[in-house]
Amino acid sequence: MINKLWDKGYEPDKMIERFTVGQDRELDMKMARHDVIGSMAHVRMLESIGLIEHDELPVLIEAMEHILKEIERGEFEIEPDVEDVHSQVELLLTRRLGDIGKKIHSGRSRNDQVLVDLKLFMRDELIRTVKSVEKIFNRLVELSDKYRDVLMPGYTHMQVAMPSSFGLWFGAYAETLIDDLRLIQAAYDIVNQNPLGSGAGYGSSFPLDREMTTRLLEFGDMHYNVVAAQMSRGKSERAVAVGLAAVAATIGRFAMDVCLYMSPNYGFIGFPDEFTTGSSIMPHKKNPDVFEIMRGKCNRLQAVPNELTLLMANLPMGYHRDNQLLKDVIFPAFDELTDCIELCDLMLRHIKVKSDIINDPRYDYLFTVEEVNRLVLSGVPFREAYRRVGAEVQQGTFKADRTVKHTHTGSIGNPANEEIKAKMNKMLAKFGICK
């Protein structure tokens, strides 16, 4: 017989059991620590309103701290006949403490218990994501500084357009990540609200002190309306998914650039042989498999918000079991994005930038705008300068002057990396991550 918080003395059909439980037990292991932390705050509150005796509280807290240590040591498990992590924690407390352990569920439903666990879990995972983003940001800025003066072609419409630099290329992706963190921050603010005390979505007749649990769990705010608290299920996950998808879009786009720039047709960058793969029949091939898989995974991550939207579409107010499937989608997304960022950082530690590519005659026309601007600076009207250079291009007489003098903020000669780092530090401070 499987231990359930809703047990009424009968067992459902085995196929029904398997179908409805799904991956819950495996995914719940990720929230074990958060379930115990949430329960510790809850029992402290129960003691303050008289639903747990004063001398019972330290006994419960000590037992929960012991379970926390078991989780940290990897000794905690959800037993085969236990439905989920909530049931397992309560079962352990009841085994070890008897009737005292049976009191911890007073004043809450599994609905708000799950919500608290999810919000604590996602809050931690978002901080982990931010720290990963900070790591790749620092790598990109470091490379931007290192290759600041190395020119490369810039493209519009996939056509050779104007001079750019590796400093601008790396730095552009660094700064873009800051905007992605703005979406992560919005998701964090949505997640960082206390739902505990909302029960099944309609509150409780117990005099719960929800302000106390908000403080104990260090939530930034509370979901005040108990119905709104339950309505945050799905909405929180979708907000998180949008933030993750933003970072994935940036990493995926960078991966696409790398795949192009590694190809012989471009030949801008390279990697050691051990960071590439080969072909089963073409001896010359060095394939960018890491970045291709990274691109594919990041594209898949950008589909997560839509998947969650469809999962929650047309659901009326109140809890529905469909919500259980949210974990199947959002939990793996955190790990997949972190893996992509970590692999990207590893690859960038070994990137080889080719410093003389701009000297190839195929890039002569990159410098037409530079020539137009030189004429304008000498007093020639812009339209006349444009016509002259255009005629030289048409007649095949244009001679490229590869001297580039860009000085304005954010340009080749002044990429403003210090300002970009300052902007990132301001963003990190909003997450409590300070330099």
Complete DSSP assignment for 293-344: HHHHHHHHHTTHHHHHHHHHTT--SS--GGGGGHHHHHHHHHHHHHHHHHHH
Residue the block writes with tokens 């210090």: 418
Selection from 343, 340, 350 nearest residue 272 by Cα: 350
The first and second tokens of residue 338, run together, are 């972190």
Q: Are 190 and 174 in contact (CB under 8 A)?
A: no
d(CA 214, CA 371): 63
d(CA 299, CA 293): 10
Q: What does the chain come to in residues? A: 435
* Whether 279 is catalytic: yes
Catalytic choice (39, 144, 279, 284): 279
Catalytic-role residue among 54, 144, 157, 263: 157
CA–CA separation, 196 vs 243, rounded Å? 24
Question: In degrees, to the nearest 5, what angle opens at C-alpha 224 toward C-alphas 222 and 230?
Answer: 90
Distance, in Å, from the CA atom of 334 to the CA atom of 330, rounded to the nearest integer, reads 7
Measured N-to-C along each axis, helices 304-312 and 226-262 cross at an angle, to the nearest 10 degrees, of 150
Distance between CA atoms of residues 424 and 134, nearest Å = 8
Query: For the residues of 373-435, what is the DSSP string, one character each?
Result: HHHHHTT--HHHHHHHHHHHHHHT-----------STTBTTB--HHHHHHHHHHHHHHTT---
What is the dihedral angle through the alpha carbons of 312, 318, 321, 325, rounded to the nearest 10 degrees? 40
**Cβ contacts of residue 229 below 8 Å, gap of 6+?**
112, 115, 193, 195, 197, 198, 201, 223
Active centre residues (catalytic): 157, 279
